[in-house]
Chains A and B, each alone.
Chain A
Amino acid sequence: MNSVTQGRWAELVSKGTTNAMSGLSQMIGQEISVTSFTLRRTPVASIANLVGGPDVMSVGIYLTATGSAQGHIMLVYEPKIAAAFVDLLMCQPANTTTALGEMERSALGEMGNIIGSFFLNALADSTGLDFRPSPPAVMMDMAGALLDIVVADILLTQDEVFVAEATFHAADREISGMFFVVPSEGLMSALLEWGKAA
């Protein structure tokens, strides 16, 4: 990826993340803002270290993007952060959720739906391309095992990945988490073409 494409990609991911938070705000009926956003390029082999190490228990929310091009979206959180999201989504006081049962996982899946759809809509609006999210899968296991879903596909063609880390602020709490957005080569090519035309 050249620097022009990288710049465009950073711009798109930032726009997508802001739009995703706007979707989340609508879902829960309270303002959620992105207070910090960083996008970094990381070797695929070490991405699990960003979430504490490959054997650290984590919650993953995973979607694929199809349409004009393919890609992966994965949100990975420590269980306590995922529980904080559940409290936010279910309009409960902080620290109410202590375990992730069926209802809590369903709430996280819905959050994945909203984040995925709004993120991809922002990409589609900016580029004129067509993206559709898959239904979300919510899993809890070792971070390395969850990330293998994405890693295996990326390592076929590339050895680095873009990882976005966003801190979200709701009225009474602040939550931060990793947001892995993995474009396929096809998407990057489409983006390069879009960048040339823009």
Chain B
Amino acid sequence: MNRVDVSDRVSVIGLGEWKASKDDDAELVCLGLGSCVALCAYDPVARVGGMAHMVLPSSREGRVVGPGAKFVDLGVPLLLQDMEKIGASRSRLVLKIAGGAHMISAAGFNGHLNIGERNAASARDVISQLGLRLRAEDVGGARGRTVRLRVGTGQVVVSTAGDQPYAL
């Protein structure tokens, strides 16, 4: 059962998935991110956009099975390669990340797993190691986020439960 109402121009990027697009009318979306991190990448000249929904900081910590972008260190290069295949240039990419929340604020869970913070740190590291710069980020806190990238404009919009969406 999936009640998410999406048009064929909206691509929902699920856990561990990534997608590159040069369709001006397309929107790439990561729904309900908690500790996961979404990387939004955009080449404003080629008008190529891409998004990856990454769950864990490093492939050194787990088994590499299932969706390729499950780990941040694998997901970032996978997305960038696919964007290059359809005309993006790394040197022009505008990179933004969102997510990486610590969802449990209750006493006794302060250091629990701490995956969100580590995901965000890993994304910064991997991007830096690739010689790229992060333009903006909205990470941390204890709230879920939905992140949308409009391919035609490169606009990234973040929404949290009960608040107005805002441009990142």
Residues of A within 8 A of B (CB): 44-46, 48-50, 52-57, 62, 64, 134-149, 151-153, 155-159
Contact = CB atoms under 8 A, between A and B. Distances in A.
A148 B33 contact: yes
A142 to B, nearest CB: 4
Nearest to B36: A148
A45 B66 contact: yes
Contact of B35 (A134, A149, A159): A149
Contact of A145 (B14, B55, B101, B106): B101
A145 B1 contact: no
A186 to B, nearest CB: 15
A25 B145 CA distance: 37
B56 interface: yes
A149 B103 contact: yes
A55 B103 contact: no
A55 B31 contact: yes
B64 to A, nearest CB: 11
Size band of the interface chain B makes with A: 35 or more
B15 A45 contact: yes
A146 B36 CA distance: 11
Contacts of B107: 135
Given A149-B34, A151-B55, A155-B62, A142 B1 contact: no
Interface stretch (B76-84, B108-116, B122-130, B149-157): B108-116
17 contacts: A45-B14, A49-B1, A49-B2, A55-B4, A55-B32, A55-B144, A135-B107, A136-B106, A137-B104, A137-B109, A144-B33, A148-B101, A149-B104, A151-B15, A152-B55, A152-B113, A158-B63
Contact of A134 (B33, B61, B66, B108): B108
B33 A145 contact: yes
**Top 4 A-B residue pairs of the complex, sorted by shortest distance between their CB atoms:** A144-B32, A145-B144, A148-B34, A145-B34
B34 A147 contact: yes
Given A139-B104, A142-B161, A146-B34, 5 more contacts: A45-B15, A53-B4, A138-B106, A139-B103, A144-B36
A76 to B, nearest CB: 12
B67 interface: yes
B148 to A, nearest CB: 11
B146 interface: yes
Contacts of A142: 31-32, 34, 144, 146, 161
